Amino acid sequence: MRMPLCVANWKMHGTLAEARPLATGVRDGLRRVKGVEVVLCPPFTALAAVGEILAGSPLALGAQNCHPEPSGPHTGDIAPPMLAELGCRYVILGHSERRRETGETDELINRKVRSALSHGLTPILCVGETAGERRQGLTFTTVEGQLRAGLAEVAADAVGRVLLAYEPVWAIGTGANATPGQAGEVHGYLRGLLTELASKETAGAMRIVYGGSVKPENAEELAAEPEIDGALVGGASLNVQGFVTIVKKTAHSGAVRGA
Ligand code: PEP
């Protein structure tokens, strides 16, 4: 059984005045919730403060990006050891907003993935097709290309340390989520590729989370799909009650699935 996992991607939201009550509310709201792992990914500027709030709780800290180098002349960038020092355990890489807005290529994302792994961080590698690609029947081609490129030269025994996120671009921030069937089909395909890139055992143990307009209303049916191992949540993670509900519903579906 794979333990479900929910990741909160706060994106560019969260001054300290906003981040502190949000992290505190989520931590306290999930005090008695079992059977699910939770990662909060605030902006860089709030990592230290949120890390202090989560200390001693089961909730983990994650960042939204990193540079592939451990240090160097890269003005404005943040290196993996800096994240590890703050207590980060995860880092989101290859998010479609970064691919689109800052032109991140598969090659750069791959360097980041390998660097994150070498510094003890779990990369949350995001893959997903655009609406046009889906219309043209290119969904599997797109995600396969992103997965193979993202994991290029990652040793088979390290592949299992990656958390994969299927995030169809057309579903991110649009309110229109993929159906459990649509997501499950892609997750199954990705798991097949992971079998080839690592092993059947590794692929079977790896978690593939779904992201794209996950909200309290759809979290349970998405998590009930056997191939969906949790959620990467953007907009709905900025509301304490909303995110706590998503996590509880994910835990509940995971428990039902495993029963
Ligand atoms: C995301 O930021 O990865 C995301 C899935 O956003 P949203 O939940 O708002 O669609």
Q: What is the pLDDT of residues 213-247, one digit of tens each?
A: 999 999 999 999 999 999 999 999 999 999 999 99
**C-beta of residue 23 within 8 angstroms of C-beta of residue 1:** no
Q: Is 110 in the pocket of ligand 1 (CB under 6 A)?
A: no
- CA 90 to centroid of ligand 1, rounded, Å: 17
SS3 7: strand
Residues recognised as catalytic: 95, 167
**C-beta of residue 207 within 8 angstroms of C-beta of residue 2:** yes
Q: Which H or E run includes 166?
A: strand 163-166
* Ordered DSSP codes for 58-98: S-EEEES---SSSSSS-TT---HHHHHHTTEEEEEES-HHH
Residue percentage of the chain with pLDDT more than 70: 99
What mean pLDDT do residues 176-180 have?
97
Residue 249 has pLDDT above 90, yes or no: yes
Q: Which of 126, 174, 232 to mutate to test the pocket of ligand 1 (most atoms within 8 A of CB)?
A: 232
Q: What is the pLDDT of residues 82-117, one digit of tens each?
A: 999 999 999 999 999 999 999 999 999 999 999 999
Query: Nearest-CA neighbor of 9 among 246, 167, 232, 243?
Result: 232
What mean pLDDT do residues 71-79 have?
98
> In whole angstroms, what is the distance from residue 166 CA to residue 144 CA?
11
| Confidence at residue 259, expressed as pLDDT on a 0 to 100 scale | 65
Residue 42 has pLDDT above 70, yes or no: yes
Ligand 1 atom closest to the Cα of residue 233 is: 8
Q: Which residues contact 134 (CB under 8 A, 6 or more apart)?
A: 168, 170
Residue 257 has pLDDT above 90, yes or no: no
> In whole angstroms, what is the distance from residue 3 CA to residue 45 CA?
30
Instruction: With cut-offs at 50, 70 and 90, classify the pLDDT of residue 256.
Output: confident
Q: Is 203 in the pocket of ligand 1 (CB under 6 A)?
A: no
- CA 72 to centroid of ligand 1, rounded, Å: 31
Nearest CA to ligand 1 atom 4: 234
